[in-house]
Structure formats: C-alpha cells, structure tokens
Amino acid sequence: MKRSLVAAALGLLLASANAAVFDGTWRIDLSRPGGVTLHTFLILHEKGTQLEGKVVLNRSVDLPLRQPRLEGSDAAFSIEWGGAYRLHPEGDKLRVTIIYGGTSQEEATAIRVPEADANPPAAIPLPAVEAVPANGLARTPPMGWNSWNHFGEKVDDATVRQAADAMVSNGMAAAGYVYINIDDTWEGGRDATGKMVPNTKFPDMKALADYVHSRGLKLGIYSSPGPVTCGGYEGSYGHEEQDARTFAEWGIDYLKYDWCSAGRIYQDSDLPAAYQKMGRALARCGRPIVYSLCEYGAGDVWTWGTKVGANLWRTTGDIQDNWKSMSEIGFNQSRLAPSAGPGHWNDPDMLEVGNGGMSNAEYRTHFSLWCLLAAPLIAGNDLQTMSAATREILNNREVIAVDQDPLGRQAQRRAAQAGIEIWSRPLAAGGLAVGIFNRNDQESPAALSWAQFGLPAKPKALRDLWQHCDLEPAADGWQGRIPAHGVVLLIVK
C-alpha cells in the first residue's frame, strides 16, 4: 500500500514535471524574403505520455497535429501543409526544426505566449447580401500569368518585369495573354494611415504597374478577406474600401481574393457576404478590376459568385504539378458547366504547363481540357526559361480560340468508357469543339460513332487542333489511337 502510494505520487510528479515542458501556447517567428516576419502558433497539451493540440500556421489556418509523439526530451509531429516539426526544450524556450517536404529544413525558436495571442481578431459583422452590379469585364475567360505555381514566395519586382518582357517576346501577348498577376507574399503591412504597403521585394508598385502597362499588359494583385493571407501576410480584413482605392491608385487591373484566415473568423455560409464587401469596394474604386475569388470551391460559390460581383471563382483546392492532381480536378468539372458564361467563369485553378511534373502529352491534355472548360488560362510557369514544347502548347492559337469562343459555353462530358472520355462544347460559329481523352496509363484505341459526338449524321468538316490539319470524316465515326494520358482535340462542323 505504502509503496504503491509513493509510486503513484512519483508518477504524478513526473507527469506534471513533463507537462510543464510542452504544455501551452508557443509562438514561432520566421523571417521571410521582403523583410517580413511571419508568426505560427503551436497550441500543445500534454496528456500523460500523449501530445495533443494544433498548429495555427501563419496565423492563417488551424491544422491538427499528425502523429504527435513525445520522444525522449523532444516532441515531434507533422501537419498537412508545412512539413514535419521537432521541438527541443531549451530553458523556457523551444528549439524548433521544421522539415519542409522532406527536403529543406529551417531552425527557429518558439517562445511561450498567452493563449489569446493565437486567436483571430473579433468578427466584424457582415452586410446583408445584395447584388453588386456586373463590371462588364472578362467577357471571355481571363488569360495571363501568375507567380505562385513556379515562384511561390520568391516573386519580386524583377520577376514580374521579366515575366512581362517574356510574355511580349515569346508570342504569348500576341496570342491573347494579358494579365501579369502577383500572387501572395508581396504585402508589407500598413502605414500610419492604414494604407497597405508592399514589402521590400516591391519597392514601388505604381512604377511596376506603369512598366507592365507600357508593355501593353495589365497587372494583377492578391489579397484576402481575412486579416492575413494564406502565407501569413497582411490581408484586407476591415480595410476593403481603402485597399480597393489603393489598388486602383497603383493601376491594378485584377484582384485574386483568397479566403485563408477569413475561415478562422467566419463560416462557409458567410462567404457571399464577405466576398461582396470587396466586390462592392471594387465597383466603387473608379478603375475596372477583374475580381477573382479563391475559396477552394467552398460554399457552392458558382451559385452566388456573379451576385457578389465576381468574374471567376475557384472550384477546387490547389492544383499540383502532377497527373493525379490535374486530372482529378479537370475531369471533375462537368456538372459546373451551367454556371459559366461571359463575365463569370469557373476556375479550376492555374495552369501547371511547363513546370516539369508532367509529360508534354499530359500538358497538352491539361491545356485542352482547360480550354474546353472555358477556364481562365493563367500560365504558372517561368515564362523566361520555358522550352519550345511548352511555348507551343501555351501558344496554340487554335486551342486558345476554343477557350476564348465568344459563346462562352463550358464543355461537358458526353461519354466515358474504358478510360476514354469525350467532352464537347458548342461554338459561336456553329459546330463543336470535341476532346477525346485517354485517361489510361497506356496508349488506347478509341472508336466513336458520330452519335457519340452528339451529331445526327456525318459532319461536313473535321479539324485536328494539335496536328493543325483537316481530316476527312469517315462515314461511321472517328477512329484512332490516343497516347497514354493524351488527347485528340477536334472541331467538327
């Protein structure tokens, strides 16, 4: 009895000594390019030998700990985005090692802070949803480039100027691309008057806009309805009118508005009202600005996006530069076709063409599918260094013409069998654009009757948009072999 009491007391002592080590709220400060410091919080609870809690990554999103564990004097876990964490006590601080994607790693210190520091600011009440008048922009899907997919946080003033130069010199501008869009990580904070200022990577935003305009192009920028962006940089929360005016003053032509930390304050049911605030602010700012919503397809955005003044809205989570991600997104868009049309488009995310994670056949499929879907064509590669094959894909004017068809009807899947899918959309000049896709991992034969194309009889004319040649329509239909993950893209009349 006596011995077991002592053991129990010892056990308690040990547990409580242990609990004091990791238990609590910790702030990690990370220095980023542009002279910005980002804050991530660890909220940890030790329960005996178990570790529980969450990470508030970049103050933007709450992520549960994955496989949390106590290992000797250390604690370790990972999170869905942002890598694997190892914590080592050092006095009253923690030494933190973050391993990103199993490759690069970063060392930082975590200090103990009051729990409330990790909370988002109080919710600002949202207005009732009333229709924002259409801005008349984006009568065809926007075409341009965005920094995120290739450059991430490495984008700066020079990168943007070089992208603009490249777009002009490599034929993309002549093929219809016009927007040069800066994604997350340009933000510096606010000055004494509350005006948003860029960080040191962007010394003069107005001068940059002037430069992009001097090349005959337009400049886009990025912000969030929340207090911080997904990357943890300044957002437009509570400053919507002021920021819209600032963007107009700089000469901005396009805004991507990314939900991020707004999700810590509002519910999905608040999405329309929160997005309407900026929609209205843009409508009043005195400059035509394309309004692009980024909410990962949440809240059935296609049912209210137009109402809040948007020209496009994301229908999915983030694309990755691989066949699985691209094909799962692209081939899942059929049901949303009725929501797209001139001035308001479904956005299955930006292009990965030329980023290196897919074959050229797969990139032709990606580009063909996006064009059939009347998707925004926002290139996401390095325009300065792209290969001839990438340039040929992005600049295929016959395929771009499908995307930009003035009728603005998004394609739907008409048939699917044994990994072969047929998608088609009607065109303004009559006839159809038809994609025959092979989702199989090996080359596959395809034989389709004209009825399967949705045609009553043999078409008068048939054109192959990748081979750039007219084909003689056979009496009973189309037959051919399609490479693995490849496409045949046709116009039938």
Min dist CB 484 to ligand GLA, Å, is 28
Min dist CB 464 to ligand GLA, Å, is 33
Q: State which of positions 272-301 bind ligand GLA (CB under 6 A).
A: 294
Q: Which residue of the set 157, 183, 258, 349 is catalytic?
A: 258
Our CB check for ligand GLA shows the closer of 224 and 438 to be 224
Q: Is 231 among the residues that bind ligand GLA (CB under 6 A)? A: yes
Give the CA radius of gyration of the chain. Answer: 26
Our CB check for ligand GLA shows the closer of 36 and 230 to be 230
**Range 343-359 burial, b when 16+ CB lie within 10 A, else e:** bbbbbbbbbbbbbeebe
Q: Is residue 318 annotated as part of the catalytic site, yes or no?
A: yes
| Torsion angle of C-alpha atoms 472, 475, 481, 486, degrees rounded to 10 | 70
Our CB check for ligand GLA shows the closer of 318 and 398 to be 318
Question: What is 23-67 written as a DSSP string?
Answer: -EEEEEEEEETTTEEEEEEEEEEEETTEEEEEEEETTTEEEE-EE
Q: Which position among 183, 234, 240, 253 is part of the footprint of ligand GLA (CB under 6 A)?
A: 183
**Of residues 336, 401, 326, the one with CA closest to residue 364:** 326
# residues contacting ligand GLA (CB under 6 A): 9
Q: State which of positions 3-22 bind ligand GLA (CB under 6 A).
A: none
Q: Is 318 among the residues that bind ligand GLA (CB under 6 A)? A: yes
Q: Which residue of the set 74, 165, 318, 464 is catalytic?
A: 318
Q: Which position among 51, 230, 281, 427 is part of the footprint of ligand GLA (CB under 6 A)?
A: 230
Min dist CB 293 to ligand GLA, Å, is 11
Q: Name every residue whose Cβ is closer than 8 Å to that of residue 362 and which is 6 or more positions away in sequence.
A: 323, 326, 485, 486
Min dist CB 231 to ligand GLA, Å, is 4
**Of residues 43, 54, 56, 27, the one with CA closest to residue 232:** 56
Residue 323: CB atoms within 10 A of its CB come to 20
**Of residues 238, 242, 240, the one with CA closest to residue 257:** 240
Question: What is 410-459 written as a DSSP string?
Answer: PPEEEEEETTEEEEEEE-TTSSEEEEEEE-SSS-EEEEEETTTTT-SS--
Our CB check for ligand GLA shows the closer of 46 and 183 to be 183
Can you tell me the distance from the alpha carbon of 300 to that of 269, in angstroms, rounded to the nearest whole number? Answer: 10
Min dist CB 267 to ligand GLA, Å, is 19
The 142-161 site mask, x for binding ligand GLA (CB under 6 A), equals ------x-------------
Can you tell me the distance from the alpha carbon of 465 to that of 473, in angstroms, rounded to the nearest whole number? Answer: 15
Min dist CB 378 to ligand GLA, Å, is 10
Q: Segment contacting ligand GLA (CB under 6 A): 47-55, 66-74, 226-234, 339-347?
A: 226-234
Q: Is 380 among the residues that bind ligand GLA (CB under 6 A)? A: no
Our CB check for ligand GLA shows the closer of 183 and 321 to be 183
Can you tell me the distance from the alpha carbon of 320 to that of 84, in angstroms, rounded to the nearest whole number? Answer: 20
Is the distance from CB of 108 to CB of 29 less than 8 angstroms? yes
Q: State which of positions 344-373 bind ligand GLA (CB under 6 A).
A: none
Active site residues: 258, 318
Q: List contacts with ligand GLA (CB under 6 A).
A: 148, 183-184, 229-231, 258, 294, 318
